Amino acid sequence: MLSTSTTRAPDQAPSSTRPGDDRARAVAGQAAVSRLGAPVRSRLRLGQVLVVVSGLLSIAPYVALVQLGDILVTAHEAGSAPDPERVRATVMVLIGAYSTRLLLYSLALLITHFADLALRDRLRRDIVARLTRTPLSWFTASTSGRLRKAVQDDTTTVHTVIAHGPVERLNAVVTPVALLACAFWIDWRLGLLSVGTIPLYFATYSLSMRGMNEKTVEMDRRLENISSAMVEFVAGIGVVKAFGQVGRAHAAYLRAGDEFSTFYRAWAMSMMNISCLSITWVSIPVLLLVNLGGGSLLLRAGLVTLPQVLATTLIALVLPGAMVTIASVSWSYQQAGAAALRLCDILDAPTLSAAVHPRRPDGARVEIEHVSYSYGRTLAVDDACLTLVPGTVTALLGPSGSGKSTLATLIARFADPDAGTVRIGGVDLRDMDEQTLYDTVSFVLQDPQLLDAPIRDNIALGRPDADLEQVRAAARVAQIDDFIMTLPSGYDTVVGRDTALSGGQAQRIAIARAVLCDTPVILLDEATAMADPESEAEIQQALAELVKGRTVLVIAHRPAAVRGAHRVVVMDRGRIVATGTHDELLNEPHYRALLRQGGVAVDPQENSHD
């Protein structure tokens, strides 16, 4: 798949926040869960109504059990057979009530699960739609690990609180309340016995849950650090191996894992003793001891009957299951809160404004007027003014970090400038619709990005309606058709699965993509910089065909790339410091410095030593 990532330095440490920040994020997380669930709230409420009815029906089997016990005990004491009609009727009530309860509960879960499927589909669609309208600067601040976790993992995490949470949490409240009411209806003394250990459970359980919201957010953040460290390590494996930094990059992942393990171990150990004590209060041996022991004393005193003792004892044994469900769902809500926050961060990501009254450009003249742009507080482009004339090639030269790539991306409207205007054909880019912009500007990146898809689809990415002959014609211009036809599946060969392409081959496919788009404005991020020597000549030939009669801007990372350019523009620290031809700029200090750094002689004396 196409990946937009920002590689983090191998030794970058995970971020940490203060407890107060975690508490605020925990509260915000619950609000985010509520916000995400809003589109399916009516269906969730329908499921909850069914659960309430199901919970109320839960008392019927116990009432019927007491009635059945009384029938059998009374008949036994009278020395006669029990009335078969009454027994049959009571058993039918018991079976019918229990079956109806299960049916309503299952139907409620079915409704909420369908609601969850619809919500997750909508979330993923909304996320993709949002990301397609988000400026490139937002991706620069977001690691690919974070985005992957949000799109894949977080939508699944929210599943629990949508498909299960509304039903199970309400059922865990309604059913125990109904059963306790039934127990007190049977006998108030037995009812007190059935709930006798619950206050002790909640008292100790609340101690173990102190700071749970904040710790859950912190744990989730550390898991995100692990995910990001792994994704960035894999994404940058070629670079870190080439520069002998595998140990450092691997150490960053291990450090993130160790920090999570240390945090989780300390948290788990602090909770373990208290959690074990709280569970003991509602364990089966303790509940049987309290209810059967207390019930036998009341039975001996003649205050209750044996069926009543058995019924309330069964109720007491059911209650802890509901409390465990509440605890489990509460934990899921804590996790879902952090996931929902990340999803909302993406859904709230800034987007490029849509044109209210779209206009089409008149020609391919590019005008950059007093443009400034910043990444956060870092100024990348400072009051740039530049005009690109149709039919000419302009080389944009400057040291790393000078802002040349940022300026080029503003022409493709990867982002909107903080100040100033970018026009093509006399039309502000903000007044063009997306399709018009795509039909006007194409970008050939230095590091070509191809989809895990057939080569034909990769070339036709900008023109999916193109037929095979049109695709092949573009490939021939890009000097890549002969190679593709040597592959067993030809243009149906899947990149990354059926074949591994060299840098030069991938670059020529990217050029073929631009040729097929046939846009009047071309932005080239020095397409030969990453190519092998054998491919460079073919790429240069392909580029020569591509730029004919178009408005071309070449981002030059090497001084040699200015050859053939009609004009050279030099940038330094975000500003355009010089403009002219190669000969005109030979005495310009910035340009001379760049030529010297690239090993290009600028003085006659230097030429004489070559």
Residue 57 near residue 95, CB atoms below 8 Å: no
pLDDT for res 240? 42
- Nearest Cα neighbor of 490 from 448, 524, 457, 534 is 457
Say which DSSP state 411 is in: H
Query: What are the two backbone dihedrals, phi and then psi, of residue 371, each rounded to the nearest 5 degrees?
Result: -90, 130
In terms of DSSP bridges, do strands 378-388 and 366-375 run parallel, antiparallel, or are they unpaired? antiparallel
Nearest-angstrom CA–CA distance, 19 and 26:
10
At 9, the pLDDT band (50, 70, 90 cuts) reads: very low
Q: For the chain, state the CA radius of gyration.
A: 35
Chain segment 71-124, per-residue pLDDT in tens? 887 887 777 888 888 888 888 988 998 899 899 999 999 999 999 888 888 888
More confident residue, 268 or 245: 268
Chain segment 197-209, per-residue pLDDT in tens? 888 888 887 776 6
Q: For the purposes of burial, counting CB atoms within 10 Å of the CB of 509, is it exposed (0-12), middle (13-18) or buried (19 or more)?
A: buried
Residue 238 has pLDDT above 90, yes or no: no
Give me the chain's average pLDDT, please: 80
- 67 to 311, 312, 394: CA distances (angstroms): 10, 13, 94
pLDDT for res 490? 92
- 557 to 399, 417, 528, 560: CA distances (angstroms): 8, 23, 10, 9
pLDDT for res 243? 44
List own/partner pairs for 92-101 with CB under 8 A and 24 or more apart.
93/60, 93/64, 94/60, 94/61, 94/64, 94/65, 94/68, 97/57, 97/60, 97/61, 97/64, 98/57, 98/60, 98/61, 100/54, 100/57, 101/54, 101/57, 101/58, 101/60
Residue 25 has pLDDT above 90, yes or no: no
Range with the poorest average pLDDT among 273-287, 345-359, 580-594: 273-287
Q: Tokens for 406?
A: 């940022």
At the fourth CATH level, the homologous superfamily of domain 366-608 is P-loop containing nucleotide triphosphate hydrolases (3.40.50.300)
Residue 386 has pLDDT above 90, yes or no: yes
Start-to-end C-alpha separation, the chain: 47
More confident residue, 428 or 77: 428
More confident residue, 327 or 480: 480
Range with the poorest average pLDDT among 147-161, 215-229, 239-253, 275-289: 239-253
pLDDT for res 382? 94
Neighbours of 408 (CB within 10 A): 18
Provide the b/e sequence for 38-55 (b: ≥16 CB within 10 Å). Answer: eebeebbebbbebbbebb
More confident residue, 347 or 220: 347
Any residues with CB less than 8 A from the CB of 20 and at least 6 apart, and which?
none
More confident residue, 98 or 561: 98
Nearest-angstrom CA–CA distance, 580 and 562:
11
pLDDT for res 232? 61
pLDDT for res 8? 35
pLDDT for res 209? 66
